[in-house]
Amino acid sequence: MLNLNLSTILLQMANFFILVIILYRFLLNPLQNVMKKRDEQVTSAMDNAAVAQKEAEKVRLEYEQKSHNIDAEISARKNEARIVIEQTRQQMLNEVKEQAESFKRRTEDTLASLRAEAIQQHKQDIADLVAQFAREMMTGLMNPQIQALYQQEFLGKVEEIDLSKYLEGASPNDEQYIKAIMAIETDQKFQDSLLANMKKQISIPFNLTFETDPKLIAGGMLRFENELIDGSLSGQINELKKQYQEDV
């Protein structure tokens, strides 16, 4: 049978309570403090993790938004680039078309000008041949009788023309010099007739001189200071030549 001693029990109980007090004071409080700090660290870490998660989510959303904006901007830039490329292409096509049209017009104008020049040159050549033929023919047919007829025709032409208008503005006190250029030498009778006809129309003093120029073929010319009356056969041929150029 177990022999229990009260004093022993009490002593053991006292030792137990002392041990509990020692453990509570030197072990439980530090352990609680450690556990509290541990809880605080875990809570702080969790709070930091939550904040970091929020920041990460915010960064992720910002990144997605920026990525979306970048994609939209890239798409807009691509559209702008396509529009610019198309406009540039169309502008280049228009410029090429305008240049082609301008070159075509210049070519047509050049061809038309060359054609007109060729036609005009052809007319000129034909007119020169006609005039040359007429001169050669009339020179070959010329005789004193025909020369006399052309001289009479020249006198009639001078008589019909108002000679005073060829001396308008001339001073009545200054003698005017007029030259009669004839195809052949003229006799005194012709010279007197011409002078008489001119004096009927010219009231101011003038001096009439005579010259010869075989190139006139027949007839003659009156040369004032700045005017010329052509009554020669050569002048008639030149007029025929001009008319031929215009009519051809």
Q: What is the reported pLDDT for 120?
A: 72
Q: What is the reported pLDDT for 223?
A: 93
Burial class (CB in 10 A: 0-12, 13-18, 19+), 64: exposed
φ, ψ for residue 208, nearest 5 deg = -105, 125
CATH code for residues 142-247: 3.30.2320
Q: What is the reported pLDDT for 1?
A: 47
How big is the chain, counted in residues? Answer: 248
How far does Cα 13 stand from its chain's mean position?
122
139 vs 217: CA distance, rounded Å: 6
Q: What is the reported pLDDT for 247?
A: 64
One DSSP character per residue, 4-71 reads: --HHHHHHHHHHHHHHHHHHIIIIIHHHHHHHHHHHHHHHHHHHHHHHHHHHHHHHHHHHHHHHHHHH
Contact present, 192 and 210 (Cβ < 8 Å): no
SS3 label, residue 178: strand
Q: What is the reported pLDDT for 4?
A: 57
Half-sphere exposure of 184 (CA within 13 A, CB side): 18
Q: What is the reported pLDDT for 3?
A: 56
Going residue by residue through the chain (248 aa), what tens digit of pLDDT does each one get?
Answer: 445 577 787 888 878 778 777 777 776 667 677 777 877 777 777 777 778 778 878 877 877 777 777 777 777 888 887 888 888 888 887 887 888 788 788 878 877 877 777 777 777 777 677 778 878 888 888 899 999 999 999 999 998 888 888 887 777 788 889 999 999 999 999 999 999 999 998 888 899 999 999 999 999 999 988 888 998 999 889 888 888 777 65
How far does Cα 116 stand from its chain's mean position?
26
Report the predicted TM-score, pTM, of the whole model to 2 decimal places.
0.51
SS3 label, residue 202: coil
User: For the chain, where are the E strands, in sequence order?
Assistant: 176-182, 206-212, 219-223, 228-232
